[in-house]
């Protein structure tokens, strides 16, 4: 009978030793694996996150104004649209020969103007340059009171800035016709007090939902006909 007890005791001892050894092994391996694996993966993720930071939907609204942030795109061809897009001068009473090409003018912080300034008395009606949907009515430090309008074929965005106010009842989502009064000339934003003009820019966009992105094309050849 004594030998049976001894065998049981030995068995229990063996089991205890085995479990202790396996515990010791697992303790050694588990901490070392994550400690090495996690740390190199962490610095990797911020690098990946870093690049998608620029396209923030709120930021472009503030910046896409008087001085457009230096468009990195290689100047898209205006000629693609000349003769294909029928635009009117978006300020009432302004004739084609009164337009001055201010597209390539320099602006602050090394930016280019990338738009057309059309001088007119305060309160002159601003007209929709073409048929299209009003995408956004917004205000920004540089542009003042502004409108983003989707133009023909969903590939052009018109941007009207320094407005004194919107036409009564104008709202985002409105479909306007070419020549409709959408706003009035003003000097809001960084136009400088009393420097009444419409800042008008045309952008080619790939996605109309991202109306603040895209490359500016010179409105001048499209309006001066």
Binding site for Zn ion (CB under 5 A): 115, 117, 199
C-beta of 99 vs 115, nearer to Zn ion = 115
Residue nearest to Zn ion as judged by C-beta position: 199
Question: Which H or E run includes 163?
Answer: strand 156-166
C-beta of 113 vs 150, nearer to Zn ion = 113
CA 43 to chain centre: 27
Question: Contact 65/146 with Cβ under 8 angstroms?
Answer: yes
Nearest distance, CB of residue 153 and Zn ion, angstroms: 25
Nearest distance, CB of residue 114 and Zn ion, angstroms: 9
Residues 6 or more apart from 15 whose CB is under 8 A from it? Answer: none
Nearest distance, CB of residue 102 and Zn ion, angstroms: 7
Nearest distance, CB of residue 201 and Zn ion, angstroms: 8
C-beta of 172 vs 192, nearer to Zn ion = 192
- Separation CA 201–CA 196 (nearest Å): 16
Q: What share of the chain is helix, strand, coil (3-state, %, to 5)?
A: 30, 25, 45
User: What does the block give as tokens for 142?
Assistant: 């540089």
C-beta of 142 vs 208, nearer to Zn ion = 142
Nearest to 220 by CA among 113, 126, 108: 113
Question: Contact 94/224 with Cβ under 8 angstroms?
Answer: no
C-beta of 91 vs 199, nearer to Zn ion = 199
Nearest distance, CB of residue 191 and Zn ion, angstroms: 8
């Amino acid at each position: 009978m004594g030998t049976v007890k001894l065998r049981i005791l030995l068995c229990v001892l063996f089991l205890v030793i085995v479990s202790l050894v396996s515990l010791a092994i697992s303790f050694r391996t588990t901490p070392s694996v994550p400690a090495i694996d996690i740390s190199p993966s962490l610095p990797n993720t911020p690098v990946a996150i870093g690049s998608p930071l620029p396209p923030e939907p709120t930021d472009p609204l503030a910046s896409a104004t008087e001085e457009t942030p230096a468009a990195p795109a290689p100047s898209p061809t205006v000629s693609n649209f000349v003769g294909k897009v029928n635009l009117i001068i978006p300020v009432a009473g302004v004739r084609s020969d009164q337009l001055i090409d201010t597209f390539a003018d320099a602006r602050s912080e090394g930016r280019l103007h990338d738009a057309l300034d059309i001088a007119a008395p305060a309160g002159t009606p601003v007209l929709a340059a073409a048929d299209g949907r009003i995408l956004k009515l917004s205000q920004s430090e540089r542009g003042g009171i502004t409108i983003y309008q989707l133009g023909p074929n969903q590939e052009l965005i018109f941007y009207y800035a320094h407005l004194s106010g919107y036409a009564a009842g104008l709202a985002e989502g409105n479909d306007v016709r070419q020549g409709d009064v959408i706003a009035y000339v003003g000097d809001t934003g960084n136009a400088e007090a009393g420097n009444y003009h419409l800042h008008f820019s045309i952008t080619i966009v790939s996605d109309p939902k991202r109306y603040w992105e895209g490359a500016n094309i010179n409105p001048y050849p499209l309006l001066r006909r």
